[in-house]
Structure 1
Amino acid sequence: MTVASVKREALEASFLALYDAIKEVNDHHLMFKALVDIRSTLDCIKPLIKETAEDKKESDFPDDELHHFRLQMEEGIELIQKCSKVVPLSTSDTNKLGHLCKSLQRLLDILKVRSIRDVKKTLVMVKNIETKVQQIDLNFGVQSSSSEGIKGWCAIPEPPPLVVGLEGPLKELKMKLFSDKISMLVVTAPGGCGKTTLAIKFCQDGEVRDKFKNNIFFVTVSKKPNLNLIVEELYQSKSSQVPDFPNEVTAVDWLHKFLNQTEQNPLLLVLDDVWSESESLLEMFDEWKMPNCKVLVTSRFAFPRFGSPYNLDSLSDEEAMALFNHSAYLENISSHVPEDLARQVVKHCKGFPLAITVVGRSLCGQPIEIWKKRLSEWSKGSSILDSDHDLLTCLQSSLDALEKQSITIKECFLDLGSFPEDQRIPATILIDIWGESHKLDVDWLCIANLYELTNRNLANLIVTRKDPREVDGYYTEHFVTLHDILRELAIYQSSVESVEQRKRLIIDISGDNFPEWWTEQKCQPINAHLLSISTDGDFKSKWPNMQLPQAKVLILNFQSKKYALPKFVEKMVKLKVLIITKYGLLPAELENFPLLGSLLHLKRIRFERISIPSISKSPVLLESLEKISLFMCKIGQAFSNCSVRLVDLLPNVVEMNIDYCSDLVELPAMLCELISLKKLSITNSHKLSALPEEIGKLVNLVVLRLRSCTDLTELPDSTQSLINLTSLDISDCFSIKDLPQHIGGMRSLETLNMRQCSRLQELPASVVDLEQLREVICDEETSVLWEPFLSVLKDIHVRLVKDDMNLNWLHKFPT
């Protein structure tokens, strides 16, 4: 026996003694998490330790590490024996158990790596032997008797024991891939949603097997694909001689040859777990487009350039329940877990298969009290991501890949956790936040980041009415939705550091129950750059104090009929963005409005469903404010009987957006005093019937958008004075009968959107003076009005547009 063998057997002996010690610990002490973790880790190590002790080869396990682990185990035996007799455990003993657990976990990791390495070496040896045998067979004219090749090379993996919720997607996949129009289809969803399981079930389906016979190949690509290895495995799977690949170009050639050798049957190739780094691989298949070859791709990335992806949805409530019952072993007749308790747990998993499986396994066999404790922790703000390391790792890998591409886009994703669960997020809010937080100073760049997140299944950008060619900067009809598990991921990532050091501080208050750290803190400054506070309809408390000297963004989400701004707002001296959203049907009254007067750096304000008080009652000077947005607000009384000049309160506003403000009947003339305005957008305000003649004073106006103001009958003649206006949008203003006679005075006008202006009968002759006009957006009816002028305005492009309304998402998100 070698010296190494003796040392390995000594390690095994120490391990077995420790294993026996933990087995003797009674169930009462196993309520302590550290002891449970140690027992679980030891169960995993046991077979690997046995393999190590029985290994006859010379070990590459360093002697000092063997000695270190053996000493740790011997000390651990004494520690566990001591802890099994003491209740409660001292802090010192708890810490020692934690250190022991970490040491055992490190040993487990080392043994796993050695085991995997040895398996890989064996596979390489088998592969080489197989290649040699095939070469001998070929030399002697012997044909292999196996038509399917060696089991394991590109073989279809086994599905999970229970598969739910895939019947519909399976039918849709067959319909798409059996079509002659599609050669490659990408199945996309966040990690852990069941994409791979769907691909496996597709390969095992009877109709699919009848169509593709033995030409079904399943290749796992992963983050760092090796094209040579993929092609080698494909050839191995057909019991063919493995070609030699001196370079990747040669591998590509052999791959093309392989896909063309389909004999009389078509070929199905599944590329599982494809990451963005492998886009060039998909590009090859897209270019080849072989009629007899179908490629099914599973990925967290949508890869929209290769056609419309298939988005895999979350499980329904009943499907989620079936999967949970299986994972938690509740189908066992001896289970005493009440169904309503199980349903409460499942509700927190949000239809996410991996979360359901992980949580189910973690609760399997646990007493009812543990189930209730878990629910209690979640209701108090603990994350479901704490339930299992695998769930967090699966989702975290998507963020890691995102960070490699752009740290800014990752930061944008983390900001999405600042909004309430199950609510759509207006893209215009994100434009305001990201413009100041991440220096994204043009709106379209923010939208581009949202498309990036959508392509990676980290968000979902929805456009309620769209023409893909229309890029005039109007993003009020763009919304973002976020799967609840991904929202938890964003919040979890933002909460890793201590409260004082977090970059984002996200607070969700139920009733009047403030977080303990807030009520107990002794006025210590918090360094967060973004603060988000959400309260429900039962919130009535006064705000505790808080110091946020670095905060640039404040997001307040609430549901009550009256809402008071927190007193600490006036001390947020660096605040640049204020977002206040009332959820519910009716606008709410906002109190403490004058506090905003102390915010010397405030640049952007957005109010949603807020009743704006008369500015005469509480005039507030906002000298730095550049942009104000009012959505579904009550503003009819804000400017009535006003003795204060608006321009004195808002001297530097350059952009104003008023959307869905139903009580706006006539635009107040005092708004036309804001001569610094460059963008004025009044949209979906259906009672607005008139604009003041004074609107011509807004000589710096570049964009005037009056979209969907259905009662507006005309534009004042003074609009001819808007000599810097480049974009005019009067689309869906059904009541406008005439354009101003001297509209040609808008000499800078480049874009005019007048679709669905059905009452317009003719255009004024002065349109021929619009020498800079390049694009007119119309429907078929209004486009006819331009025909008499096209011989003069030769540089104009009249573009026909049909509305594409997307309302399917509305039922999912309560107002």
Structure 2
Amino acid sequence: MTLFCHSALPKDGSSKIPYDLVEKTANGCKGFPLALTVVGRSLYGHPEVTWRRGLKKWSDGKSIFDTNNELLGRLQISLDALDEMDGSSVKDCCLDLGSFPQGQRIPATTLMDMWAEVYNLDYEDIDTYSNLVELEFRNLVNIVCTRQTTYEVDGYCSENAVIQHDLLRDLIIHQNDQEPIEHRKRLIIEIAGNDFSKWLTVGMHQPLSARLLSISTDENFSSSWFDLTLPAAEVVILNCCSSLYTIPQFIDKMNQLKVLVVTNYGSSFTRLYNFQLLGRLSNVRRIRLERVSLSSLHTSLPELVSLQKISFTLCEMGKAFEDGTIDLSLVFPNLQEIEIDCCDDLVKLHGGVCNIISLKKISITYCNELSELPDEIGRLTNLEVLRLSSCTKLLKLPESMVNLHKLAYLDISDCLSLSKLPERVGELMGLRTINMRGCQGLSEVDMLPLSIKDLRLLEKVICDEGVNRLWKPCQSHLKNLNIEEVKEDAFESLMRVISPIQFP
């Protein structure tokens, strides 16, 4: 407010502009310093009617950029500078951010999943994450840690989120809207209630060329959809707020669809319907669901032949995957990665998951009710990463896991109830890294299993002081072992476990 007043009002206090009008205009600049300065300077010395005319245009749905060409020009420079990065996908990545609702944090892994598929980047390659870092370096986004502490085990980015400035999102939307609907690379639709009038235009009744579709609806949306034809769409982002939500039928015509993201921003779980239509699409490779109730899915799971990764965050797992008549290896014949994060009602990972022998990564984090893993986990002979961080009630690791000879990373950090490792843990001949910080139960044992000395490839153990003493004697057998001791007080440890998500 001070910065705006400095630019918009005389310093001698002689302004006759009402304070509430000044305040509303400043709020329209959304806290962006450049906007506060440029808009304020454009109004300096103008009569009250000019101020009110500008404010009315904003309230009528006009963008701030429609009423201030100088601000548009100066901010546009930030986007245009990305064009100078020849052969880079950074600008496209920046423009994709407009697909997510204003003021919401975007999980870094969601963006990386999209970009890996749409821009042919290797998800494991540094290019996907470096695009985010480049945008942060140019002050176009902020990358924040969503949890108390982050300790990298294998370059994992699930604890990072991206925040875009509201005004920069407005600029992206404004630039997108300059193109005719039928030629836009990104079709970004925002619906209030069931009012489709803005979108039922002539251009919407023909095939559209967008590669990315984003639809945001509010809590009053009834899931009564209009029709769309997007034969080139590769990414669909559905942002909802209602307790019942139906995946639009027109998606079954998107034969190029690779990524589906469904995020519920409402106060209760969303029951998802029409999920079975995804079985008609042969190219879907990644699905992410957040704050969705999966109880309605266990009877409607389609065969997803190309799916490589599925993620559940803050979901109500219910009876998902527990129907004994469903063979998960047929539903997910090529699945390589499953993520389950902050799903409080997950008590046991269903044994059917262990039939998906294509799995390379399993990540179950902050699922505080999880008490056991299936004994059949040893069947997953292609598993390379097993992450069980902050599953505080997990009592033991199945003995069968010693058959996971390709397992390279094991994360059992903050598994407070875990009191021992499998006796034959030394048979994990491919193991290179173990993260076991915060394993209070293990810190109380006298010694590790004798087979530990057979972990010849083990390079790194991350632990706290109580467990460090158990590993020290092993270093004489494990020549490449580096023990990284993490120091933190009991309060920090507790807060990391009970407060996994950090809100502003």
2:378, 2:404 within 8 Å by CA — same for their partners in 1? Answer: yes
Q: Are positions 1:764 and 2:449 aligned together?
A: yes
Q: Are positions 1:563 and 2:245 aligned together?
A: yes
Which residue of 2 is the match for residue 417 of structure 1? Answer: 98
TM-score with structure 2 setting the length = 0.91
2:58, 2:64 within 8 Å by CA — same for their partners in 1? Answer: no
Report % sequence identity. Answer: 46
Shift of 1:415: 1.0
Shift of 1:541: 5.2
Which residue of 2 is the match for residue 332 of structure 1? Answer: 15
Which residue of 2 is the match for residue 385 of structure 1? Answer: 65
Which residue of 1 is the match for residue 476 of structure 2? Answer: 791
1:658, 1:682 within 8 Å by CA — same for their partners in 2? Answer: yes
Which residue of 1 is the match for residue 178 of structure 2? Answer: 496
Which residue of 1 is the match for residue 107 of structure 2? Answer: 426
Which residue of 2 is the match for residue 295 of structure 1? Answer: none
- Give the Cα–Cα distance (whole angstroms) in 2 for the partners of residues 330 and 630 of structure 1: 56
Q: Which amino acid aligns with 1:332?
A: S
- Give the Cα–Cα distance (whole angstroms) in 2 for the partners of residues 376 and 465 of structure 1: 37
Shift of 1:626: 0.7
Which residue of 1 is the match for residue 210 of structure 2? Answer: 528
**What whole-Å deviation, never above 9, does each CA across 1:313-358 have from its counterpart, x for those lacking one?**
xxxxx4366347528999633x4x6x54543333221112332343
Q: Are positions 1:736 and 2:406 aligned together?
A: no
2:241, 2:267 within 8 Å by CA — same for their partners in 1? Answer: no
1:608, 1:633 within 8 Å by CA — same for their partners in 2? Answer: yes
Distance 1:348 1:515, change over 3 A: farther
1:403 to 83, 89, 105: 83
Q: How does 1:107-122 map to 2 (within 5 A)?
A: none
**What whole-Å deviation, never above 9, does each CA across 1:719-756 have from its counterpart, x for those lacking one?**
00001111111111111001000011111111111111
- Give the Cα–Cα distance (whole angstroms) in 2 for the partners of residues 634 and 494 of structure 1: 35
1:519, 1:544 within 8 Å by CA — same for their partners in 2? Answer: no
Distance 1:329 1:458, change over 3 A: farther
Distance 1:390 1:437, change over 3 A: same
Which residue of 2 is the match for residue 775 of structure 1? Answer: 460
**What whole-Å deviation, never above 9, does each CA across 1:613-646 have from its counterpart, x for those lacking one?**
3544213111111100000011131133431111
1:530, 1:553 within 8 Å by CA — same for their partners in 2? Answer: yes
Shift of 1:562: 1.1
- Give the Cα–Cα distance (whole angstroms) in 2 for the partners of residues 520 and 639 of structure 1: 43
1:374 to 38, 57, 68: 57
**What whole-Å deviation, never above 9, does each CA across 1:459-516 have from its counterpart, x for those lacking one?**
1111245878735132111011111111112222333311111111112222222252
1:456 to 127, 131, 138: 138
Q: Which amino acid aligns with 1:537?
A: E
Q: Which amino acid aligns with 2:246?
A: A
- Give the Cα–Cα distance (whole angstroms) in 1 for the partners of residues 272 and 308 of structure 2: 21
- Structure 1 counterpart SS, 2:60: helix
- Structure 1 counterpart SS, 2:348: coil
Distance 1:522 1:417, change over 3 A: closer
- Structure 2 counterpart SS, 1:656: strand
Which residue of 1 is the match for residue 330 of structure 2? Answer: 648
Which residue of 2 is the match for residue 617 of structure 1? Answer: 299
Note the aligned Cα RMSD (angstroms): 2.5
Which residue of 1 is the match for residue 122 of structure 2? Answer: 441
Shift of 1:795: 1.3
- Give the Cα–Cα distance (whole angstroms) in 1 for the partners of residues 219 and 3 of structure 2: 30
Shift of 1:405: 2.6
**What whole-Å deviation, never above 9, does each CA across 1:263-316 have from its counterpart, x for those lacking one?**
xxxxxxxxxxxxxxxxxxxxxxxxxxxxxxxxxxxxxxxxxxxxxxxxxxxxxx
Distance 1:371 1:808, change over 3 A: farther
Shift of 1:435: 0.6
Q: Are positions 1:720 and 2:402 aligned together?
A: yes
Distance 1:655 1:503, change over 3 A: same
Which residue of 2 is the match for residue 545 of structure 1? Answer: 227
- Structure 2 counterpart SS, 1:491: helix
Q: Which amino acid aligns with 2:57?
A: R
Distance 1:514 1:631, change over 3 A: same
Q: Which has the higher contact order (CA 8 A, sep 6+)?
A: 2
Deviating more after overlay: 508-517 vs 730-739: 508-517
2:295, 2:318 within 8 Å by CA — same for their partners in 1? Answer: no
Corresponding pairs, count: 489
- Structure 1 counterpart SS, 2:214: strand
- Give the Cα–Cα distance (whole angstroms) in 2 for the partners of residues 749 and 541 of structure 1: 48
Which residue of 1 is the match for residue 372 of structure 2? Answer: 690
- Give the Cα–Cα distance (whole angstroms) in 2 for the partners of residues 393 and 590 of structure 1: 43
Which residue of 2 is the match for residue 518 of structure 1? Answer: 200
Q: How does 1:569-648 map to 2 (within 5 A)?
A: 569-648=251-330
2:369, 2:392 within 8 Å by CA — same for their partners in 1? Answer: yes
Q: Which amino acid aligns with 2:35?
A: A
Q: How does 1:151-300 map to 2 (within 5 A)?
A: none
1:682, 1:707 within 8 Å by CA — same for their partners in 2? Answer: yes
Which residue of 2 is the match for residue 281 of structure 1? Answer: none
- Give the Cα–Cα distance (whole angstroms) in 2 for the partners of residues 614 and 447 of structure 1: 34
- Structure 2 counterpart SS, 1:480: strand
Q: Which amino acid aligns with 1:436?
A: E
Q: Which amino acid aligns with 1:742?
A: R
> Radius of gyration: which is bigger?
1
- Give the Cα–Cα distance (whole angstroms) in 2 for the partners of residues 664 and 468 of structure 1: 23
Distance 1:387 1:668, change over 3 A: same
1:582, 1:609 within 8 Å by CA — same for their partners in 2? Answer: yes
Distance 1:328 1:349, change over 3 A: farther
Which residue of 2 is the match for residue 358 of structure 1? Answer: 38
Q: Which amino acid aligns with 2:108?
A: A
- Give the Cα–Cα distance (whole angstroms) in 1 for the partners of residues 144 and 278 of structure 2: 33
Distance 1:389 1:367, change over 3 A: closer
1:678, 1:703 within 8 Å by CA — same for their partners in 2? Answer: yes
- Give the Cα–Cα distance (whole angstroms) in 2 for the partners of residues 522 and 794 of structure 1: 65
Distance 1:616 1:427, change over 3 A: closer
- Give the Cα–Cα distance (whole angstroms) in 2 for the partners of residues 327 and 525 of structure 1: 54
Shift of 1:399: 2.1
**What whole-Å deviation, never above 9, does each CA across 1:776-807 have from its counterpart, x for those lacking one?**
11112211111121111121111123468898
Q: Which amino acid aligns with 2:76?
A: Q
- Structure 2 counterpart SS, 1:590: strand
1:744, 1:768 within 8 Å by CA — same for their partners in 2? Answer: yes
Q: Which amino acid aligns with 1:393?
A: G
Distance 1:368 1:399, change over 3 A: closer
- Structure 1 counterpart SS, 2:9: helix
**What whole-Å deviation, never above 9, does each CA across 1:643-694 have from its counterpart, x for those lacking one?**
1111111111010000001000011101101100000111110000001100
